[in-house]
Amino acid sequence: MPERRLHQRVSGPFEGHWHGGSGATECRVSDVSLGGCFVQTLVQPTAGEETEVMVRFGPDEAITLSGRVVYAEPGLGFAMKFRDLTPDETARLKKYLHLE
């Protein structure tokens, strides 16, 4: 199957927190790119739901990003596509992911 992603993924795990219409909880983020991430959590949002995820890249490095749920895998988590990132969010995410 050909790769559909537009952005390079960086594998975690990264600790984090997410919240949306379906709930809020601590989570793990297994991979992150400039386009989105996969959030490992037992709480299942629905596809299309708007949500936010805060990802910690170190003790003093974290970023909160908004987007929508692309799909959910029961018992595993969900994939999230970020909304258009601001220039500041893009620069910070590139720095944290060592993409510069």
| Residue 44's CATH number | 2.40.10.220
Tell whether 1 is covered by a domain. Answer: no
Instruction: Write out the chain's pLDDT in tens, 100 residues.
Output: 444 556 567 888 999 999 998 889 999 999 999 999 999 998 888 999 999 999 999 888 999 999 999 999 988 999 999 999 999 999 999 999 888 6
Interatomic CA distance for residues 30 and 14, integer angstroms: 6
59 lies in some domain: yes
Is residue 87 domain-resident?
yes
The conformational region for residue 86 under phi > 0 = left, psi -120 to 50 = alpha, else beta, is: beta
Question: Domain range for residue 92?
Answer: 10-96
CA dihedral 27, 17, 100, 50 (to 10 degrees): 100
Cis peptide before 13 (omega within 30 of 0): yes
94, 37, 97: which is closest to 65 by C-alpha?
A: 37
Residue 36 lies in a domain: yes
Residue 42 lies in a domain: yes
How many domains does the chain fold into? Answer: 1
